[in-house]
Structure 1
Amino acid sequence: MSAVLTVADLAAKARTASRRLALLSRADKDAALLAIADALDAASADVVAANAQDIERGRASGMVEGLVDRLTLTPERVAAVADAVRDIAALPDPVGEVVRGSTLANGLQIRQVRVPMGVVGMIYEARPNVTVDAAALGLKSGNAVILRGGSAAESTNRTLVTVMRDALTAQGLPADAIGLLDGGRDAVRALLTARGQVDLIIPRGGAGLIQTVVTESTVPVIETGVGNCHVYVDAAADLDKALAITLNAKTHRPSVCNAAESLLVHASLTQEFLPKVLAELSGAGVVLHTDPAAGSAAEAAGIPHVPATDEDWDTEYLALEIAVAVVPDLDGALDHIRAHSSGHTEAIVTEDRAAARRFTTEIDAAAVMVNASTRFTDGGEFGFGAEIGISTQKLHARGPMALPELTTTKWIVEGDGQIR
């Protein structure tokens, strides 16, 4: 069977399932989610065994350790994934929420309510937790999902989807609410061009994946994830806060999109702060890509570094590497970020309220942090529960996307014989 027919078949089954999901009560959806969570716990050994196969193939093919970490599921991580599903079950159901409404002068009652998108395609790389998050968020918001994970997690994803589909069947719900797309680029291209069959595509991964989806898709896309995030340490920064924030933003989990990739330091801090933060970063195993001023500070302190290239300022390393520049002032920091930001998360460390206000007002990004790590841009940290991704575009959704962002709206108008 061709990829096009495969996608058409998946989409048709998902459409039928989505109609059933749209009619479910919150209690029914929550019961299904709790059944999925229990099933994942029960199948933990099978999931870990399948994951071990993927890890073995990944290491054999030279996968870097940061990506291996993203791919890895331990029993503890499987339990955490199951708990995340339970957390989603506990969240408010967005479907049916009245966004706004009124009674017109002619007596018509109008209201705008949240409704499911319908069929959502999710294309992502080697992060098997996304397989469960996307399926659970889709179910809670009344959507059927078609999942296309990276080939690096093929065995893990097959096992996870089988467990979840079986759990739905046991609850008397359509297993086709969760579909897994097999095949290579032809299959992906067929999904991207299934306009009218699929309502929305959400890519989650590196810049290359996202750009391919945005460029080739005829289905509406929400662009997510590329995080060239900056930390700017202002002249008025509390330097202890600045050091802790910078280290956390870069080293806490370098392989994720909200990790810092560039550090900007005010020129007045080149003696007091810059050598210290460079030494701490280097001591944590971070490769420093420095502009001439930062390189001079590193050289004087005997800290290993490499000269930054033009490409470094636009690079999402997703690893223990960071680009470092000295800027003359706040305007210099703003100009640098405007030139190189991916619109994900930008942070300022300062005790100057006026500087903080200028930064939050003038920076164009999905999230702007003041005296806080870029790592906080996350649906769970924001209290939304698991996220489907972090949108870096401006239409429909921006920032961490949770349940409300997986819905659209429709207008319901009730009258008593009014005519226009």
Structure 2
Amino acid sequence: MERTGALNRSTQGTAAVNTSAQGTAAVRTALVIGGGIAGPVTAAALRRAGVAVTVFEAHAEAADGVGGMLMVAPNGLDAFAAVGVGEQVGALGQPTTTMVMEDFQGRKVFAFDGLPGLPASRTMWRSDLYRVLHDRAVELGAKVEYGKRLVGVEESPDSITAVFADGTTATADLLVGADGIRSTVRTLIDPDAPGPEPVGLLGIGGWGPPVPGIGGSEVMHFAQGKRAFFGYWGTPGGDTAWFSNLPHQGAMSTTQAREVPAEEWLRRLREAHAGDHPAESVLAGARDLQVTGALEILPSVRHWHRDRMVLVGDSAHAPSPSSGQGVSITAESAVELARCLRDRPDLPSAFAAYEQLRRPRTDKIIAGARRTNNSKAAGPVARAVSRALTPLLTRTLFTPKRIFGDIHAHTINWDERVDA
């Protein structure tokens, strides 16, 4: 039996879905390139808008067990609710209700609790989120094919054909690039489009011994050390999860980073955090390192769409992990793209509405991430100045509402029509 209903933060559970509704006359079918996080949430949103969808993933198999930990903020939970997985995603991992900023001696500088009326952010494994989204897309009727690496497109006035490395093709009304920060679709839309840039930091994480007085598993701590940035939080099992952002100039892929022995990374980490509390003691017992290499950010992408191609998620707007918003704004964009395709009469007006809804917001979040990266990668003099100014700023500018208000409180009303 078909179900209908409003989607907003008051319906965080299994959202009502009407896949019989049709999108614009120009979009009955869509090819979604990329089967990571952006791909399945986009597929689920398009199915909800009545578009037949096939997702094409370059890898030979599903992404179960792939990836580290990530955070989904309240605005991300709201967007996931729009495709019917609000409760499922909200039950993954562990809640993060409080964020505490500390100095290198472990002294609290200020703390952010969640904004009133909003659910807590969730810290979870990427692979767990992927499985929920993949299963939802399939449940709604999306098809998924693996081992399909896009190498080109063939365009006609009324359709677009994807050409894959294995010699096969697929044709539809629309092609969506959900293929990440190194998007092939982005370069097909604009050969001069920018690629990702390193932000001057390396990402390394792992587990360590318990930290006394950590405040429970719902509290996440961030410390600007003397030479590197350190984050840590308790796990329900009693261990300490942690990450460090080591200053590093230039690129370093995950493959290159993992070629460095774990013992060498631990030596560098312990040297960088010598004298930092509690980083020093956590790293003394660190284990199970996860090395991601250089953190990256995507400069402003001039063209998000062309003809029958459009970008969503990291292919269009990839903030660095410092934003805490990568997954959340990906989900937002997937839902908004589907709404625009549902409500606007043709592709040009749908794409224009989509970009108008999304670009100002994503640009603001990326700019904020860039400022955070710069502070993390700062030299010793700049760090000393920051430590001196932070207490004053926390009493004036650094309030939860100022920092997180319009980001975390953002909602999308699926049932509201997207007008010109």
What TM-score comes out, normalization by structure 2 length?
0.26
The structure with the largest alpha-carbon Rg is 1
Higher strand share goes to which structure? 2
What TM-score comes out, normalization by structure 1 length?
0.26
Higher helix share goes to which structure? 1
